[in-house]
Amino acid sequence: MAEYEVIGSRPVPYGAVEKLTGQAVFGADVRLPQMIHGRVLRSPHAHARIHRIDTTAAEALPGVRAVATAADFTAGNGWENMLAGSKALYVGHPIAAVAADDTWIAEEALGLIRVDYEPLPPVLDMRAALQPGAPLLHPDLEAGNVASHFEMVKGDPDRALREAAVMVEREFRTTMVHQGYIEPHASLAAWSPDGSLTIWTCTQGAFPVRSEVARLLGLPESRVRVVPTAIGGGFGGKTVSYLDAVAAILARKAALPVKMVMSRAEVLQATGPTPGTIIRIKAAAGPDGRLQAVIAELYYEAGAFPSSIAGSGAEVLLGGYDVPHARIEGYDVVVNKPHTASYRAPGACPAAFAMEQVADELAGRLRMDPIEFRLLNAAREGTVRVNGSSAPVMGTVEVLHRAREHPHYRAPLGGPNRGRGVACGYWGNWGAQSSCTIQVNSDGTVSLLTGSVDLSGSLTSIAMQAAEMLGVPIDRVQASVGDTGSIGFTEVTAGSRTTFASGLAAVEAARDVIAQLRARAAELWRAPLEQVTFERGVLSYPAGGRKMTFTELAGLLLETGGPVTGRGNVDGDRYGVGPGYGAHIADVEVDPETGRVRVLRYTAVQDVGRAIHPGNVEGQIQGGVVQGIGWALYEGYQYGPDGAMLNPTLLDYKLPTALDAPPIEPVIVEVPCPTHPFGVRGAGEVPIVPAPAAVANAIYHATGVRMEQLPMSPAYILERMGII
């Protein structure tokens, strides 16, 4: 492990003071002169044909400046989730939008819009959606309500199952869960006299918003500028654009800036939750405990439009295991619910909830310690996965050893009705494109600009890598997030890519700066360039006995050729992304009379490659665990037979609070990713993946009954225990 000056330290993250003191500018805080307000009319039907939309009365209302429908999308609506065209596909589906002088007038105008609906039978359950004769959401889909189907096969799993010593077969169900970000979606759009458009929005990725808006409005991307605001949580849910194009259309029609902010009910009813699932698994092991075969069927709700999250679940299901024979089939199924979206390790939690319980049950039948079972079957470098790829360097063994040796694992439970569960989680991580520029100032400070939206301190982790490369203290680096007009293309802050890929861009920009500084020093000293070195912020020409610090040379730049700006533009996937892996230990207590579960203690061990900012990493781990506990015990969309959401407020949609969170101990393991100069692996996704399964396994060891659905509510637990 190399020694570093900046990496591994815990500076105060950029923007922390502004957020704590209320000075940060979030999406709903942006204001412009003459700004008006937009609202959306949403479908009351889960499934209906739209024959006619009459906006005449709304347009005539004093104070109304513009009304928009799907017809205003010049590039066509297609399967877009912006404004419905010929069909409404879920309760809450946007139908039309109004911009008015204030929100009250806009709301009144919505009530004046007349929509001629032809209600159709909704399909709300995947089992029903797959039946012959089920109502079809999209008649042009070739396989009914199955938007996609795939199969991955390794070896001969059917034969291996027949010959195995012990087999477990179970079916698991999970429901839709929302990301639970505190800040609702907000967007403000304004047109310039030259026909260019600027959008201020709370998003995890300004460039995808730009691409989407430009496509839907038929504009060149150069005419659309997207400014990302401070973001009050995202967790994948703000990788999708909901309001931006609608606000832009209203602003163009009104010739005034238009601001739109969702209500909490709109956020829950009409933005993308994670899919509900049905997962069937058969898994078998030999008498020595080695996994022989796994056969899995994964059915994922796509919501109203096709998705691809089932594929992500399939990649994760056996990501941490070495299985010689396996078959995984995945189905992406459309139903009359909101279009599903990413939520922290999209698709992974349901897959781990299923596989980690099956693994626990196999270990129990073989009378093996659950961590020993996972160690015996852990994927290692070179393990061939079900999709045919080979596993790179990954810290499975190191994480499992650390979990096994942790005092928590051997501590007494200390009472009746208590259980301890273990579960593991894998996430493949992601690279993608990132850009960064570094400007050297004459006083030796540095201005860094990245295209990555700052989430959970990611901007600080990017800047720390640049500071380490340049040999300057982090307080000499001023870092900020650029808009689409000031920095090169950068993908969303999601998928655990940012510290890795945008960090790589910062490293490349720093290398560019160093190369330019070496050239300046060589010219200044009349030295051969190859003999000028740079190390820890000091330039040297040993043969000439010359030295100069970064700061000293910065003061001479304007006299030696002008400003120095470094640029880094990378595709992180080309470097080779290192997967993440974690092992969780959960202690619970189950009240046998009420079914209430208390999580008493939690330990999360995770390989993060290199903890650039250990405090940020620990926060990621703890936050992911709390969200996983919410998923396990409380959270879930509830629908009536008509497709209306029954719990569309935070009074009814239960989220864990500080009172529900147990002591969570994060344990950082560092197995450096060999393709990153500092060994970084993404750390944000893994912490949520094993959490529901760890709690479920703990409940089993407290009650003796397996849990097969999420959330594991008190009523469900009592039902499984045979009490009700």
Residue 87 sits in the same domain as residue 98: yes
CA of 687: how far to CAs of 149, 373, 427, 567, 706, in Å? 28, 21, 9, 33, 23
Last residue of a domain, one of 255, 270, 285: 270
Helix (H) or strand (E) holding 359: helix 348-365
Residue 483 sits in the same domain as residue 417: no
Residue 513 lies in a domain: yes
- Give dist(CA 155, CA 282) in Å, integer: 15
Residue 175 lies in a domain: no
Give the DSSP letter of residue 10.
-
| Contact criterion met (CB below 8 Å) for 271 and 301 | no
Residue 335 sits in the same domain as residue 437: no
Nearest to 717 by CA among 478, 395, 417: 417
- Could you tell me the two tokens for 592? 């046998």
Nearest to 214 by CA among 189, 179, 239: 189
Any idea which residue has 């000056």 for tokens?
5
Number of domains in the chain: 3
361-373 burial, b for 16+ CB within 10 Å, e for fewer? bbbbebebebbeb
Question: Which residues on neighbouring strands pair with residue 99, listed in sequence order?
Answer: 38, 66
Residue 164 lies in a domain: no
- Give dist(CA 451, CA 685) in Å, integer: 20
Residue 289 sits in the same domain as residue 266: no
Last residue of a domain, one of 510, 542, 575: 575
Transcribe 188-234 into DSSP letters: EEEE-TTS-EEEEE--S-HHHHHHHHHHHHT--GGGEEEEE-B-S--
| Contact criterion met (CB below 8 Å) for 496 and 582 | no
Helix (H) or strand (E) holding 206: helix 206-217
CATH number at residue 614: 3.30.365.10
Residue 244 sits in the same domain as residue 213: yes
Amino acid at 456: S
Residue 304 sits in the same domain as residue 359: yes
Residue 249 sits in the same domain as residue 214: yes
Any idea which residue has 């992500």 for tokens?
312
What's the pLDDT at 281? 98
What's the pLDDT at 36? 98
What's the pLDDT at 76? 54
Any idea which residue has 């203290």 for tokens?
473
CA of 601: how far to CAs of 46, 380, 428, in Å? 42, 29, 27
| Contact criterion met (CB below 8 Å) for 302 and 341 | no
CA of 395: how far to CAs of 381, 407, 554, 582, 587, in Å? 9, 20, 41, 9, 24
Q: At a CB cut-off of 8 Å and minimum separation 6, what does 20 contact?
A: none
pLDDT < 50 stretches in the chain: 1
Alpha-carbon dihedral sign for residues 231, 233, 238, 244: negative
CA of 155: how far to CAs of 91, 172, 322, 364, in Å? 45, 25, 12, 26
Task: Tell me the chain's radius of gyration from C-alpha atoms.
Answer: 27
Q: At a CB cut-off of 8 Å and minimum separation 6, what does 416 contact?
A: none
What's the pLDDT at 3? 86
CATH number at residue 82: 3.90.1170.50
Q: What is the dihedral of CA 112, 114, 115, 119, to 10 degrees?
A: 90
- Give dist(CA 91, CA 269) in Å, integer: 7
| Contact criterion met (CB below 8 Å) for 245 and 73 | yes
Question: Which residues on neighbouring strands pair with residue 630, listed in sequence order?
Answer: none
Nearest to 210 by CA among 194, 202, 198: 198
Last residue of a domain, one of 558, 575, 592: 575
Residue 67 lies in a domain: yes
- Give dist(CA 597, CA 213) in Å, integer: 46
- The tens digit of pLDDT for each residue in 160-186 reads 999 999 999 999 999 999 999 999 999
- Could you tell me the two tokens for 382? 């070179």
Parallel, antiparallel, or unpaired: how do β-strands 64-68 and 94-100 relate?
Answer: antiparallel
Structural domain of 690: 277-429+578-720
Which segments within 239-381 are labelled E, that is strand? Answer: 258-261, 277-285, 291-303, 325-334
- The SS3 call for residue 435 is strand
- Give dist(CA 86, CA 77) in Å, integer: 10
Residue 291 lies in a domain: yes
- Give dist(CA 487, CA 177) in Å, integer: 34
Residue 655 lies in a domain: yes
Give the DSSP letter of residue 167.
E
Residue 375 sits in the same domain as residue 511: no
Residue 300 lies in a domain: yes
- Could you tell me the two tokens for 182? 């505190």
What's the pLDDT at 308? 82
Q: How far apart are the first and last CA of the chain?
A: 56
Residue 420 lies in a domain: yes
| Contact criterion met (CB below 8 Å) for 298 and 351 | yes
| Contact criterion met (CB below 8 Å) for 353 and 321 | no
Phi-psi bin for 8: left (phi > 0), alpha (psi -120 to 50), beta? Answer: left
Amino acid at 343: Y
What's the pLDDT at 85? 87
- Give dist(CA 347, CA 350) in Å, integer: 6
Residue 597 sits in the same domain as residue 552: no
Exposed, middle or buried by CB within 10 Å (0-12, 13-18, 19+), for 130? Answer: middle
Residue 582 sits in the same domain as residue 706: yes
Residue 425 sits in the same domain as residue 435: no
Residue 656 sits in the same domain as residue 673: yes
Q: At a CB cut-off of 8 Å and minimum separation 6, what does 417 contact?
A: 589, 590, 591, 592, 702, 703
Helix (H) or strand (E) holding 669: strand 664-669
